[in-house]
Amino acid sequence: MQSLSREAYAAINKNPVSALNEYAQKNRMEVAFEVVKDGRNFNRPPFTMFARVGPHRFPSATSSNMKDARREAADMALRAIVGQSASGSGPTSGRSKEVFLSQPSPGSLSGVRTHFDLIAALAHHAFLQIAASIPDKFAGRKVVACIIMKASLEDSGRVVSLGAGNRCVTGQRLSMEGKVVNDSHAEIIARRSLLRFFYAQLHAHFDGQKSIFEKRNNSRRLAVRQGVSFHLYISTAPCGDGALFTPREGLNTDLSESKMEHKPAFTSKLQGILRTKIEDGEGTIPVDPSDGPQTWDGLVQGGRLRTMSCSDKICRWNALGLQGALLSHFIEPVYLESLTLGYLYDHGHLARAVCCRLQHKVDLGAELTGSFRVNHPWLGRVTAYDPPRETEKTNNLSVNWMHTDTCAEVTDGRTGACLTRTNNSFTPSRLCKAALFESFKELCQRTDREDLLHADTYSQAKQMAVEFQNAKRELFECFQKSRYGQWVSKPMEQEMF
């Protein structure tokens, strides 16, 4: 299947020079790298090169040394080739920032063997087209996440949000104005992009247009229509508990679609422990009770910023929903129907990490009230192609996109802001707290929710979602009573805008 081909995985995992040469060899084409500017001739960088594959010349890339310039040029060529292949056209040397995402043709999906292969195919199909539109340097291993929405059981689905990235901001980059995206890991970005989709769908509902939301007789909040479901794809296991104990060779424990019952693995005292991401790097460490709460002045003075792992955040979504506190004023909790991994899948470890630890030592489900529950999504992995393990390091850049966007947005995961500058300062991302808070206030105005408009701060508006906050408190107590540790939050000052 084209969207799950070796080239599709190579475009996000492999050294781009090697991947481009493999593609050319397979298609009996020649690859050449030509120098536009040689820094050695001027006794200083930069170096500028472009790749030529057969008759096609691709955009040039500039870097501080010849090796990286070649690598970036190969990545630009590979993204263009694979992206154009996904969109159904041939290779082209041009590149547009606009994204007009096409759906896979019915014929291209005919070879899909499982639900999980279908979800992965849709995700890769979308990412390859979006990546082809990005002019920025993007070489390196890419962690990709997509949320696919299905309108019914028969619907093959469509990608409604996408994220790529594997970085977090440093403590010195936190913003008191909510203008920084703290966590740019792929699955976190995909979920924040989904929030933008929810806001758009709520406006459509209140404007009398077609929407995924509908009024339920027994609730003052809207709910997702019957039959609509959301499915998360991640190209590798989520960092933290879901990845730590997974066999590095990526062996499967069970690929049977008929066994939807979760069988979590609890074989070590270390399993299930809450973990935080390493600042400005990759990997996670266990939460340390002796650390205490994070303080603004401590971080400004160089303290290490602690951000909860992706496994822990997905676990949180499976208790509180994807919608978060602000949208809980308007909609019932929205839960994932399935979770698909492209690599490093182990059923027992993933099941424990993303949901089952909430009912192992302490049953959180017995404590949650209203529409909140412990959700156990259908878990699986790609079977159509088994990607090899690669040693490429990830890129600092992060990409976000939502299905009505004409352009993908590129940010620097280390700064949490767009690469472009306005008046000599970083441009805030459309996913930052301040931007989503503006969407919330616009919805409040549209629905005459004066009570919510009277909230003085972002934090107060979240605290006013009483049922959500009660459920969150029960979740955090469950972690502590289960001896998994204490959830680490950011300093309160960052939500006082």
**Mean pLDDT throughout 19-42?**
78
424, pLDDT greater than 50: yes
| 261 vs 452, higher pLDDT | 452
Once rounded to an integer, what is the mean pLDDT over residues 265-292?
A: 90
Among residues of the chain, what percentage have pLDDT more than 70?
A: 83
pLDDT in the model for residue 264:
95
Active site residue 467: no
DSSP string, 79-104: HHHHHHHHHTS---S---SB--PPPP
> Average pLDDT of 382-390?
69
Output the pLDDT for position 93.
Answer: 47
Of all residues in the chain, what percent carry a pLDDT higher than 90?
59
pLDDT at 392: 67
Query: Could you read off the pLDDT of 161-175 as tens digits, one per residue?
Result: 999 999 999 888 899
> How many C-alpha atoms does 21 have within 13 Å on its Cβ side?
9
Spatial neighbors of 111 by CB under 8 A, at least 6 apart, are 1, 384
Give the residue-averaged pLDDT of 73-79: 81
Residue scoring higher pLDDT (290 or 423): 290
Among 44-53, 97-106, 431-440, top mean pLDDT goes to: 431-440
Distance of alpha carbon 198 from alpha carbon 479, whole angstroms: 29
Within a 10 A sphere around the Cβ of 235, how many other Cβ atoms?
A: 27
- The answer to whether residues 424 and 442 touch, using CB atoms and an 8 Å cutoff, is no
- The mean per-residue pLDDT over the stretch 79-91 comes to 64
Question: What pLDDT is stored for residue 133 in this prediction?
Answer: 79
Q: Which residue has the tokens 């730590």?
A: 244
Strand partners, 275: 286
- Count CA atoms within 13 Å of residue 334 on its CB side: 31
Overall average pLDDT of the 318-328 stretch: 99
Categorize the per-residue pLDDT at 444 as very low, low, confident or very high, splitting at 50, 70 and 90: very high
pLDDT of residue 448: 97
Residue 239 sits at φ, ψ, to 5 deg, of -60, 155
Of 78-82, 190-194, 375-379, 383-387, give the lowest mean pLDDT range.
383-387
Q: Are 31 and 50 in contact (CB under 8 A)?
A: no
Exactly one of 72, 187, 332, 495 is catalytic; which is it?
Answer: 187
Encode 192-230: b = buried (16+ Cβ within 10 Å), e = exposed: bbbbbbbbbbbbebeeeeebbbeeeeeeebbbbeeebbb
Alpha-carbon span 283 to 280, nearest angstrom = 10
- Report the mean per-residue pLDDT for the chain: 87
**Across 309-330, average pLDDT:** 99
pLDDT of 249 reads 42
Residue 421 has pLDDT above 80, yes or no: no
What's the pLDDT score for residue 136?
64
Residue 250: pLDDT band (50, 70, 90) is: very low
State the pLDDT at residue 387: 62
Question: Does the pLDDT at position 259 exceed 60?
Answer: no
How far is Cα 403 from Cα 162, in angstroms, rounded to an integer? 8
Q: Are the C-beta atoms of 75 and 397 separated by less than 8 Å? A: no
pLDDT for 76: 80
Task: Name the least confident of 10-19, 336-345, 354-363, 483-492.
Answer: 10-19
Give the total residue count for the chain.
497
pLDDT at 105: 56
In three-state secondary structure terms, 364 is: helix
Cα separation, 483 vs 18, in Å, equals: 46
The CATH code of domain 1-85 reads 3.30.160.20
CB-count exposure of residue 77 (10 Å: 0-12, 13-18, 19+) = buried
For the segment 381-405, the average pLDDT, to the nearest whole number, is: 81
Inform me whether the pLDDT recorded for 258 exceeds 90. no
Average pLDDT over residues 272-278: 96
Residue 107 has a pLDDT of 53
Measure the N-to-C terminal CA separation of the chain; round to a whole number of Å: 48
Strands (E), 328-416: 336-341, 378-381, 397-402, 409-412
Positive or negative: CA dihedral 17, 20, 26, 27 = negative
Mean pLDDT, residues 303-328 taken together: 97
At residue 488, the pLDDT reads 96
- For residue 16, what pLDDT is reported? 80
- How far apart are the C-alpha atoms of 200 and 413, rounded to whole Å? 25
What pLDDT, on the 0 to 100 scale, is given for residue 96? 47
Q: Where in the chain is the domain with CATH 3.30.160.20?
A: 1-85
Residues near 269 by beta carbon (within 8 Å), at least 6 away in sequence: none
Sorted by sequence, the CB contacts under 8 Å of residue 212 that are 6+ apart come out as 149, 201, 224, 225, 228
Instruction: Say which residue, 71 or 123, is predicted with more confidence.
Output: 123
Least confident of 156-160, 227-231, 273-277, 393-397: 393-397
Q: Which residue has the higher pLDDT, 2 or 122?
A: 122
Rounded CA separation 267/279 (Å):
29
Residue 255 has pLDDT above 60, yes or no: no
